[in-house]
Amino acid sequence: MNTKLLHLLQVPLFFNTLMSCQPQQKEEKSLASTHPALEEQLQHDSIKTPVTSNENPDLYQRYRLSMEEATAKNNYSISDIYRGKLAAPDLSSQTDAQQVKEGLKAGVNFAGKYTIVTVACGEACQHHIVIDRESGKVLEKLQSRLGASYSANSRLLVLNPPDSTINYQDCRYCSPEAYVLKEDKLTKLASIPD
């Protein structure tokens, strides 16, 4: 009796194994093909990418060269990185305190003793909160559209860093801005020409 039961159980297992080894005939479908209304709309509407790397190369080149010139002419480097106990900042005035707390885990990431925490504030909008990690003082809260560039061993902070894929003529608030930290204050460098 045990042999009959064993044979009966082997038949379904053999069948499943045989079927799983067969090549699948299922056709890959795009999102549009599974949504007829979307497929029809895509056939009628052309999709235009608003920004290309060649759309405004002269303006990008001027921004890039201005930033390189600013960094080359001045020594913004920091050789001493703070390695002491990181002070907890007073975040009672911050509406996004939980996100700031998460960002503080990065440790010192700007100008030797500061942490810059970036928090989203909407579509194409970021707040960059500069916190002194030795004292816990919130120094500044700056806003950008395209992010920021900074490092632990430099006093230079660039909002909306130059990017060849950005159409600066169509984005009013995308122009790069450079700030330098001196004596616990961020000072905006002279404007970069349009």
Average pLDDT, the chain: 77
Comparison of pLDDT for 161 and 61, the residue scoring more: 161
- Specify which of 7-21, 49-63, 126-140, 168-182 reaches the highest per-range mean pLDDT: 126-140
Is residue 184 over pLDDT 90?
yes
CA atoms of 96 and 103, how far apart (whole Å): 11
Neighbours of 191 (CB within 10 A): 11
Nearest one of 106, 105, 104 to 138, comparing CA atoms: 104
Quick one: residue 94, left, alpha or beta (phi over 0 = left, psi -120 to 50 = alpha)? beta
pLDDT at 45: 46
Mean pLDDT of 44-56: 47
CA separation for the pair 181, 80 (Å, rounded): 15
Give residue-wise pLDDT tens across range 168-183: 788 888 888 999 999 9
Q: Using CA atoms, how far apart are residues 119 and 39, in angstroms rounded to an integer? A: 36
Can you read off the two tokens belonging to residue 17? 């194994």
State how far the alpha carbon of 167 is from the alpha carbons of 11, 53, 116, 133, 174, in Å. Answer: 65, 8, 27, 36, 9
* Residue 78: CB atoms within 10 Å: 20
